[in-house]
Structure formats: C-alpha cells, structure tokens
Amino acid sequence: MVVADENPPALAKFLKAVTTVKADDATEILIGLLKRREIKSSRNVAKATTKLLLRFVSQNRHTKLSESQGLIKDVRELGRNLVSAQPRELVIGNIVRRVLGVIREECHDNNSIPGFADLPLGGRLSRASSVGDESADLGSNPGSGTATPHSGRPFSRDGGEEDIDAMSRRKSKAYIPPNLRNLTRQGSIALPNPSFGENNLQHALFSLLQSRPEELPNDSPGLKPQSKEPFEDKDIRGDVIEGIKELMEELEQVDEQVASHSETHIHANEIVMVLGSSATLQAFLMRAAIKRRFTVVMIEAYPNDYQATQEILKAPSKFTTPIGLKQPGKNSSARDEPLTTAELKATLTSIGVETILIPDSAVPAVMSRVNKVLMGTHVILRNGSMITTAGARTVARCAQEHSIPVVVVSGVYKLSPLYPFDPDSMLETGESSTVIGWADSEMVGNAEISNPTMDFVPGELVDHYITNVGGYTPQNLYKLVEEQYGTVIDTLE
C-alpha cells in the first residue's frame, strides 16, 4: 500500500485551487470533479465540500448578523448546485446542512447574548416556561420535531426568521412563544402592546426583528440598542468559519473516535465477518487488534473489489507495507480511491490478525460460524436504513436468519437527514464493464448488464451503528439526526 504525501491527486488539486480562485470558480471546479467522479471516497468528497464552504463563507458579501438570511440563502443555493452534480453522494448534502446549522447557531447565539440569554424572560412572557427548559418547551408544543423521525414542522422549510427561531428552540437558550413567532413572521408585530413596554423586553423584541431593521421606529429612544456595536452590524463570519473548521477537524478525527469504541464490540477469539473496506472499518479493526486476538472473514465483493482481491492473492508482497498502528486514520486521507478489500486484508495481516477471504457465494455457509458482521457504510439515512457496498443486503439478511448481530461503523458526517422514499434513486449504477468485459460481443449485444455499486439495507437488518459520537440503534437514530441538524432540514435536492 503506497501512502502518498498528503492527499490524492484530484483532491489535492482541488484543495490547492480552492485557496487561489474565487469561490464561484472553485464551486464550478468542484462540480466538474464531482461529475467526472474524480474524487472518489465520500470522506474526500466531504473534505472538499467543507473546504469549499469555508472559502465561500469567507468570501461571501453577507457578513453581518443582519444579513444572515442572505448568507443562509447563498449557502443553500451552493448546496443545491453541488448536490445536483452528484445527487447520490448524500454526504455533500450532509455537510452543507451542517454548515447551515452552524450559521443559524451563530445567528441565534448573537441574538440571544444581549437579547435573551441574560434576561429573566420567563416570568414576563405570558405562556413561556422557564428559559433553558427544553423539555417543558417541547412538552408544551406538540409536533415540535422530536416526536417522529419524519414529522417536520410545517414551517420549518420556509427559511426566514423561523430558522433562527427553531435554532433558538433547539439550543434551548431562549424561547419565543408561538403567538409572538407568528406575529413576527407576518411582519405586523404589535409593538405598542402595553405589556411589552419595558426596556429589556424591547431588547428581546429588537433581536427578533433584526432581519428587518427598516420596520423599527428609529426615533423611539427605548428601541436603540444599548451596547456600542449594534447587533445587526456584528460580524458573524469569523464565528461561522470557526464552526466550519471544527467540522473539518471532526472529519480528520472520525476514524480515531470511532475506533475508540472497538474494544467494547470486538471480543477475544471472536470471528468477525467484514464486508467492504472503508478506512473507518480498518482503523476500527486495527485498534481492536492491539488488545484482542480475533479472526476476520473477508468477503470478496465481486465485481467492484474483485480484481484487487485477486491480485493480492497472487502477489501478496505488493501490498504488505505495514501501516503504523499509531495513526490509523492518516492512511485514509492519502488515498483517492476507497480502500479495496485486498488492501484491508493486507493491512490486517501485517499486524497479525488472522484473515480469511471468502467469495460472496460462501457467505451463507460461513455465517453460522461467525460471531458478528461488521460493515462500513456509504450513507446512513434518518430512519435507520443505510446505503452501502453492493451485496450488503444479502449479507445482512443472511445474518438476520442466523441471528448474528450486524454492526456498522461510520462517521456521523455520513448520517443523512433524508428519508428513503425511493431507495432505488439513491443507488449509484457504475460501469457495466466491471461485470463483464466489453469485448465480449456475445454478451454485450444480447444481455442487459447493470452494475449497481450500492445496496440499500433497511434498518431492520442492522443491529447497531457505531459513530464517532457513540453507539445508536437504528430505531434511535432520529435523535442523532435532531442533534446534528436541528429541526430545520433544508431541501437541497
């Protein structure tokens, strides 16, 4: 396994270009790369997207708090363009939504610091429960987002003020009652309402109205902000960039964080069946191998991983450059293509894990001897199902038949808030030539050949997801979605 200096060529090229050209051009470049499928693994796509968003936000003209709606709109537009370039790479949408979340959070934080957070609002607003009490809040508002996975709030997709509003609810730092919220949205807030006469409350209202300052009666002395810097002029760019950088760090650390759970899942002398060969999976197994002795049964995954697997069997020495255990995650970033099964096997063998390679057809036969099935994934969907390497569904179904637990390791950035209404449309169909040689005229003219590279695995077939933020069952995954994206799910597709 050759470890390149830093990044794979296509990604490296892009990361280099993105710092020198305008953000719009960088977007076009990335769209080109995505369309040509030059950036291959979803980790690298995520990295490129984050980097582009960083550049985009730092160059966007909307920097002020008051213009945050414009920024959100621009980012959403960018996200739509990127998603349409490769609609089946759901990670792009995930990253864009995460960044949108960061922006909303910043808006909210800045609003709340002078406006809400330090104010004893609770007693004054008629229907409000105490500040910071999210449970009370949720309890008092049915349909506020946590109840069912696919019950969005009716107004959650409109953008506009309620984005901030919803964010503030989620963060539970402040709470605005629904009636006031509605008024705000309609743009006809009743300022002269006698019960809102007090100065500090005017602050609260002021921050609510920040996105339309022209409606504020400027001559009213009580509405003038107290601090020296007006809120709407506050520059949120730095904070948003900070948030995006955190996201980038997360991407770098994912493997290590996931791997830290390995010891609790892989036990001594277990036989683990492994399908697919993501970097996360490799780090996970290698970490486990430090303390435990176990056997790995690898599935060959014809046809997309098949050739590399054959090669390793013929010339194993070519692949057995050992990789330092100290840096399990590092290796992954250095590759353009996802790891192949053969490479994973070679790596594991090099650190002394007993590895057995079986053809796909042998899975049902071997399943009864296996303690656990371990998989990587391409994307996890909000209802607990996932999209992963072709063949996974058969394996998972077989495991279910034998009551063998199926465990999936993945970074949380692969968790998509989308619901699979039409799973077929989420599956990528790859080159037909990997199934059968194009020169084979007998077949090419007469058989219809299709090579779906992905498989849809429903949540019922998965027992456990291990992410960098902990373990979840498919049934509880919606909570994680809520945590990561809030209740505002932007439509990017």
Partner 1 sequence: MAPTSKRGSAKKPGLLEEAPEALLQAVIIADSFNRRFRPLTLEKPRCLLPLANTPIIEYTLEFLALGGVEEVLLYCHAHHDQITDYIRESKWSKESSPFQIRVIYSPSIMSVGDVMRELDQSRLIKEDFILVSGDIVSNISLQGILKEHKARRLADKSCIMTSVLREISPRHGSRPRGENALFILDQNRERILHYEYLKQSDSESPVLLPRELGKTCPTMSFQENFLDCCIDIVSFEVPPLFTENFDWQHSRKDFLHGILMDELYGKTVYAHILKSGYAGRIQSLQTYDAILHDITRKWTHPFCPDTNLNQQTYKYTRGHIYKESKVILAQSAVIKDNSIIGAGTSVGDKTVIAGATIGRNCTIGKNVELHSTVLWDNVVIGDNCALGNCIVANDAHIGDGCTIEDGAVISFGVTIEKGSNIPATAKYTKISTKKEKESGRFTQVVHSKTKTLNEYEDSEDDEDEQRETSMGGLSVLEDESDYSDISDFEDDEEIPGKRKKGHARTSSESEADSFFREAYNSLLGALKQSHSVDIMILELNGLRMSANAEFSEVRRATVAAVITYIVSKITGNENTTKVVDATVEKLLPLFNRMIFEVNDQAELLGYVQRELAGKERGGTLMQAIGMKLYNEDLCDDEGLLAWWNEGNGPQGETPEMTKVREGAKAFVKWVEEQDEDSDSDEESEEEDDDDE
Residue 451 interacts with partner 1 (CB under 8 A): yes or no: yes
The secondary structure element, H or E, covering residue 105 is helix 90-112
Among 285, 307, 278, 297, which Cα is nearest to 351's?
A: 285
In the shown chain, the binding pattern of residues 384 to 423 toward partner 1, with x for contact by CB under 8 A and - for none, equals ----------------------------------------
Burial (0-12, 13-18, 19+ Cβ within 10 Å), 344: buried
Residue 149 in contact with residue 481, Cβ under 8 Å?
Answer: yes
Residue 380 in contact with residue 408, Cβ under 8 Å?
Answer: yes
* Smallest separation, CB 375 to partner 1 (Å): 24
In the shown chain, the binding pattern of residues 12 to 41 toward partner 1, with x for contact by CB under 8 A and - for none, equals -x--xx-xxxx-xxxxxx--x--xxxx---
The residue length of the chain stands at 493
Residue 433 interacts with partner 1 (CB under 8 A): yes or no: yes
Q: CB atoms < 10 A from the CB of 319, how many?
A: 20
Residue 425 interacts with partner 1 (CB under 8 A): yes or no: yes
Nearest CB to partner 1, comparing residues 84 and 320: 84
Nearest CB to partner 1, comparing residues 91 and 297: 91
Residue 159, SS3 per DSSP:
coil
Bridge partner residues of 374 (DSSP): 274, 407
Q: CB atoms < 10 A from the CB of 441, how many?
A: 9
Pick one of 229, 263, 431, 460: the residue that binds partner 1 (CB under 8 A): 431
Pick one of 126, 218, 403, 441: the residue that binds partner 1 (CB under 8 A): 441
Residue 214 interacts with partner 1 (CB under 8 A): yes or no: no
Pick one of 429, 473, 476, 491: the residue that binds partner 1 (CB under 8 A): 429
Residue 318 interacts with partner 1 (CB under 8 A): yes or no: no
Nearest CB to partner 1, comparing residues 8 and 459: 8
Residue 445 interacts with partner 1 (CB under 8 A): yes or no: yes
Residue 81 interacts with partner 1 (CB under 8 A): yes or no: no
Residue 124 in contact with residue 198, Cβ under 8 Å?
Answer: yes
Give CA separation, 197 vs 124, 192, 204, 334, 395, in Å. Answer: 11, 8, 11, 61, 66
Pick one of 430, 464, 471, 482: the residue that binds partner 1 (CB under 8 A): 430
Using the contact rule CB under 8 A, the part of the chain among 89-97, 129-137, 278-286, 428-436 near partner 1 is 428-436
| CA–centroid distance for 423 within its chain | 18
Residue 172 interacts with partner 1 (CB under 8 A): yes or no: no
Q: Could you give the CA distance from residue 398 to residue 95 in angstroms, rounded to a whole number?
A: 33
Catalog residues that contact partner 1 under the rule CB under 8 A: 9, 13, 16-17, 19-22, 24-29, 32, 35-38, 84-85, 87, 424-425, 429-434, 438-441, 444-445, 448-451
